[in-house]
């Protein structure tokens, strides 16, 4: 297994892996190829965006996508997506993607990682060293 920073040529493979990961429980999402590529491009088009891919035999099987969010006293890195294709889940790949991110962020002097998660994944993130914040997500469907 290889873990590496992504480049523009990886967008389609990242989109495919993301679509496969979110097609299963608990999400059951139906991504079109075009919409998934737009999602990947949108995230990686943000300020100081970073993508890390898990690659096996030349195929991307997992990814972590996010960007630096400048804030008052210190910048933080916001993880927009973390995914692993179903047949490779529960093998430590998601945990390793987060560890690879930490290495990159330490080199850049970015001290905080933040993400939004569904309850289903909270145990996983806690095992990876992330704690629940006091902020809750608010939304309104229009």
Domains of the chain, CATH where assigned: 2-127 (3.40.630.30)
Sequential pLDDT tens for the chain (142 residues): 999 999 999 999 999 999 999 998 888 999 999 999 999 999 999 999 999 999 999 999 999 999 999 988 899 999 999 999 999 999 999 999 999 999 999 999 999 999 877 776 776 667 777 777 777 777 788 9
77/28 Cα distance (integer angstroms): 27
State residue 132's pLDDT score: 79
56/13 Cα distance (integer angstroms): 12
Q: Is the peptide bond before 26 cis (omega within 30 degrees of 0)?
A: yes
CA neighbor of 86 nearest in space, from 23, 14, 13: 23
Q: Is the dihedral of CA 59, 125, 130, 92 positive or negative?
A: negative
**Dihedral, CA of residue 63, residue 82, residue 125 and residue 111, to nearest 10:** 80
State residue 124's pLDDT score: 67
How do beta strands 76-84 and 59-69 pair?
Answer: antiparallel
State residue 123's pLDDT score: 66
Burial 3-20 (b: 16+ CB within 10 A, else e): beebeeebbebbbbbbbb
Give the pTM.
Answer: 0.89
Distances, alpha carbon 100 to alpha carbons 115, 138, 141, in Å: 16, 30, 35
Furthest-apart CA atoms within the chain: distance in Å: 44
Tell me the sheet residues that pair with 67: 78
């Amino acid at each position: 297994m290889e873990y590496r920073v992504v480049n523009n040529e990886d967008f389609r493979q990242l989109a495919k892996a993301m679509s496969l990961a979110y097609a299963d429980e608990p999400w059951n999402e139906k991504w079109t190829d075009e919409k998934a590529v737009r999602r990947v491009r949108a995230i990686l088009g943000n300020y100081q965006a970073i993508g890390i891919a898990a690659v096996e035999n030349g195929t991307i099987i997992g990814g972590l996508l996010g960007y630096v969010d400048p804030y008052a006293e210190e910048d933080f890195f916001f993880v927009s997506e973390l995914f692993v294709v179903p047949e490779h889940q529960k093998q430590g790949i998601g945990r390793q993607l987060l560890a690879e991110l930490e290495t990159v962020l330490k080199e850049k002097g970015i001290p905080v990682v933040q993400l939004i998660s569904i309850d289903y994944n909270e145990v996983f993130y806690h095992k990876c060293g992330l704690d629940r914040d006091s902020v809750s997500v608010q939304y309104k469907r229009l």
